[in-house]
Amino acid sequence: MNRPDYRKIFVEEVRERLNRIEKELVNFEKTPFDGKVQDGLFRHYHSIKGMCASMGYQKMMRLAHTQEGLLTAIREKRLRPTEEIITVLFGALDMLKEMTDRIEEGLSIDDIDTSPVVTTLENALKGTLPEPATTPHAQSIPHIKPHSTIKVEGWIFDELLRITAGLITVFSELKESSTTPEPFTLRDSLYRFEKILKELNTHILSARLVPLSLITDGLARVVRELSRQMQKKTELTVEGAEIRLDKSILEALSDTLVHIIRNAIDHGIEPPEERLQTGKPGCGKITIRAMERKDRVIIEVADDGRGIDRERLIKKATEKGVQMARIDKMNDEEILLLVCTPGLSLKDETTEVSGRGVGMDAVRDRVLSMGGRLSVSSSYGRGTAITMELPRMASIMRVLFVEAGRERFAIPVKDVEGVMEAPVEWIEAEEVVFREQKIPARGLADLIAMPYNRSSHTMDTVVLTDGDKRCALFVDNLRDEAEVYIKPLPQPAALVKGVIGYMVGADGRPILVIDTHHVVRSIAS
């Protein structure tokens, strides 16, 4: 029965159940005698055992069976569910995950030595558990890996079938038009063709939407393990996990959320005794709140920890080369964003968890590369909130094409406030007057270190907006607008500042999409 197609189904199902067990074990630790939580865990272990048996993975089946035995002892109150016992169960769960990964890659699991984990489970069952430090995988931070398979509701396929039928009809019409060219018929068919294509695109994008819970379900475990490492107590609450985002955004988001949570536990949440002294409950709280706003999704990660000390932040930022004159002009929101300065860490010591200054700048870059925005708010002594505003669907965007320095670029139309012609004196002054307001301006060619292609005394100008900030961009030529499919830049191209992605033109030429947020901020500063 162990054929590759069955194996794929097996891996997906087992992985989904292991993820659910991971989430349920965190709940089980809090409420071990909650019948609903217990039933859920037994159901998942039982299903995994059955699937392993039918596929012939005896080793995996025995491991799941031993874990089930431990849970039975707890359910029958023969064993007390201590933190160490739960850690043992998590360790065994990690081994099941490792085996699943091996099976997915088509590798054998026979050479995986399960005996240390099985012995620990058996010792736990007998009540002779070794010291916590020697429990398997006690220190591991799980990697959050969203499923590669998307579950699509049946009606979407019905719709796709209907759309395909429409496409076939229009194709026949177009074919007929090509033999007897009737301009009106051709235009009509092309109009319908475009309409069907848009519909097709909408449905495919809907099919790609997956719930945020695919990654937040695994975060409770991450919080548990990180808190244990840091000898802190933290509870995670997730609101809005049912909100759906494009699969590519969700994949990019998983590491970003882990980064933010890591920082929150290490820098934000205080040790229990310190919290109690300041009148806070001993257990810290991290809340992930997801909200929908038109075609965007807002994800906030808030902690009730010590907050950001602005004076210390400014001191650390200047040590990293940020000029005080620049900081003096910043508002509070901009000052807090200094946490994203490359290499900046608010900790003096590096820990295993964080403090190497490679966290928040990576978070910001990732959010920007997804076409999103990042903001930070913090109340000293009361906590910090990191907010990400992300597009729900990353792929399709309306852009304005422009030319600068003999190259073509695309600018997201949503950030374009207007276009105009700038006279030579404005270009020289690097300032334009737009709606009776003077706004700073620069040449796009300047920003990308290319020569101007100035053929007249005026230059086409695009006025860009980003929140409350505005700036103007001189370009060689304005071209047309179009709805295009934007892809994120892969590494190492993603290192280029001021570009959020690329599209491929009809001639195969890659066209870079300007990161308006970065451009506006750099011109304004």
Partner 1 sequence: MLIFLSDNRRFAIDTASVEGVMVSDNIFFLPLTRPPVRGIITHRTELFVVADIKGLFSEKGHTTAPFTIVILGKDDRRFALCLGDVSPRFVDKGDCTFLPVHDERYISARMRYRGILFDVIEPEAVYKKILESFR
Minimum Å gap between C-beta 236 and partner 1 is: 29
The 510-514 sheet, strands edge to edge = 477-485, 396-404, 407-412, 510-514, 499-504
Cβ-based nearer residue to partner 1, 10 or 409: 409
Decide if residue 78 touches partner 1 (CB under 8 A): no
Decide if residue 143 touches partner 1 (CB under 8 A): no
The footprint of partner 1 on residues 277-296 (CB under 8 A) is none
Of 110-118, 267-275, 291-299, 499-507, the segment contacting partner 1 by CB under 8 A is 499-507
SS3 sequence of 430-487: CEEEECCEEEEEEEHHHHCCCCCCCCCCCEEEEEEEECCEEEEEEECEEEEEEEEECE
Of 184-192, 202-210, 457-465, 492-500, the segment contacting partner 1 by CB under 8 A is 492-500
CB atoms closer than 10 angstroms to residue 418: 13
Q: What is the H or E stretch that residue 416 is in? A: strand 416-422
Residues 240, 292: Cα–Cα separation, whole Å: 9
Decide if residue 487 touches partner 1 (CB under 8 A): yes
Decide if residue 154 touches partner 1 (CB under 8 A): no
The footprint of partner 1 on residues 435-454 (CB under 8 A) is 447-450
Query: According to CB under 8 A, which one of 4, 35, 106, 492 is a site residue for partner 1?
Result: 492
Cβ-based nearer residue to partner 1, 142 or 498: 498
With b for 16 or more beta-carbon neighbours within 10 A and e for fewer, the 242-264 pattern comes to: ebbbbbbbbbbbbebbbbbbbbb
Residues 9, 15: Cα–Cα separation, whole Å: 10
End-to-end CA distance of the chain: 64
Minimum Å gap between C-beta 516 and partner 1 is: 15
Q: How far is CA 452 from CA 75, 401, 459, 474, in A?
A: 75, 17, 10, 10
Minimum Å gap between C-beta 404 and partner 1 is: 10
Minimum Å gap between C-beta 87 and partner 1 is: 32
Phi and psi at 420, nearest 5°, equal -160, 180
Phi and psi at 255, nearest 5°, equal -65, -35
Cβ contact 129:135 at 8 Å: yes
Cβ contact 305:227 at 8 Å: no
Decide if residue 204 touches partner 1 (CB under 8 A): no
Cβ-based nearer residue to partner 1, 385 or 513: 513
**Number of residues in contact with partner 1, rule: CB under 8 A?**
23
- DSSP secondary structure code for residue 77 in this structure: T
Minimum Å gap between C-beta 342 and partner 1 is: 13
Minimum Å gap between C-beta 510 and partner 1 is: 5
Minimum Å gap between C-beta 470 and partner 1 is: 23
Query: According to CB under 8 A, which one of 1, 133, 324, 495 is a site residue for partner 1?
Result: 495
Cβ-based nearer residue to partner 1, 48 or 514: 514
Minimum Å gap between C-beta 448 and partner 1 is: 4
Phi and psi at 124, nearest 5°, equal -60, -40
Query: According to CB under 8 A, which one of 489, 519, 520, 523 is a site residue for partner 1?
Result: 489
Tokens for 417?
């406030």
Minimum Å gap between C-beta 514 and partner 1 is: 10
**Facing residues of 396 across strands?**
485
HSE-up of residue 308 (Cα within 13 Å, Cβ side): 24
Decide if residue 493 touches partner 1 (CB under 8 A): yes
Decide if residue 477 touches partner 1 (CB under 8 A): no
The footprint of partner 1 on residues 374-433 (CB under 8 A) is 405, 407
Nearest CA-CA partner of 136 in 122, 151, 156, 121: 121
Query: According to CB under 8 A, which one of 99, 499, 519, 520 is a site residue for partner 1?
Result: 499
Residues 515, 498: Cα–Cα separation, whole Å: 5
Of 174-182, 418-426, 469-477, 494-502, the segment contacting partner 1 by CB under 8 A is 494-502
User: How many residues can be counted in the chain?
Assistant: 525
Decide if residue 141 touches partner 1 (CB under 8 A): no
The footprint of partner 1 on residues 174-203 (CB under 8 A) is none
Cβ-based nearer residue to partner 1, 169 or 369: 369
Decide if residue 324 touches partner 1 (CB under 8 A): no
Query: According to CB under 8 A, which one of 512, 513, 519, 523 is a site residue for partner 1?
Result: 512
Q: State the residues that interact with partner 1 by CB under 8 A.
A: 405, 407, 447-450, 487, 489-493, 495-499, 502, 504, 508-510, 512
